[in-house]
Structure 1
């Protein structure tokens, strides 16, 4: 079977592997943004509830 390799910075890499790594990094970044938004919303809710008392 013939595999297509792309040379990147002097190293041959498989485009499928690059795609898988890009998808994994995108998933981790989306997870980070979701967790950051959750924690920020929780902190704002706690501050808002303290101001009402």
Structure 2
């Protein structure tokens, strides 16, 4: 999906995709840090917990 948006240079869809999965990007001189948006949840005895 994202590959198609990128190859077609569909900028609005690329921005939506990035906004959905990436929280922040920090650029340093020698490296790059990317923080992703993730959600963890698990089930224990029919109760669902989210972290």
Structure having the higher Rg = 1
TM-score (norm 1): 0.30
TM-score (norm 2): 0.31
Specify which structure has the higher proportion of helix. Answer: 1
Q: Which has the higher contact order (CA 8 A, sep 6+)?
A: 2
